[in-house]
Amino acid sequence: MLHTPTGPVHVLPAHAAEPESTALLLAADIRLRHRGLLRELCIEVRDGGAVLHGHAVSYYGKQMALHEARRIGIAVVANRIVVDH
């Protein structure tokens, strides 16, 4: 887990160091852009794509995380961000 000024950012282990560090930077960027919508963000890198994990304050925040990940070229295969009510 990496603690950034906007909150914790998690990246789960990847098969290679480069995808993990890239995912870490991308997660931090998305978290920073949407700091009021996302409490945590984790990008798990897999062979077939990426899985988003974390907590959002609304369904809009969850959708924005997915949109941002796809916008920057991440092939998201699952969005497992939990919306906290």
For 22-68, write each residue's pLDDT tens digit.
788 888 888 888 888 998 999 998 888 899 999 999 999 999 999 99
| Length of the chain counted residue by residue | 85
Reported as a pLDDT band with limits 50, 70 and 90, residue 12 is very low
Q: Which long-range contacts (CB under 8 A, 24 or more apart) does 21-30 make?
A: 23/50, 26/69, 26/72, 26/74, 28/2, 28/4, 29/72, 30/65, 30/68, 30/69, 30/72
pTM of the model: 0.74
Mean pLDDT computed over 54-83: 93
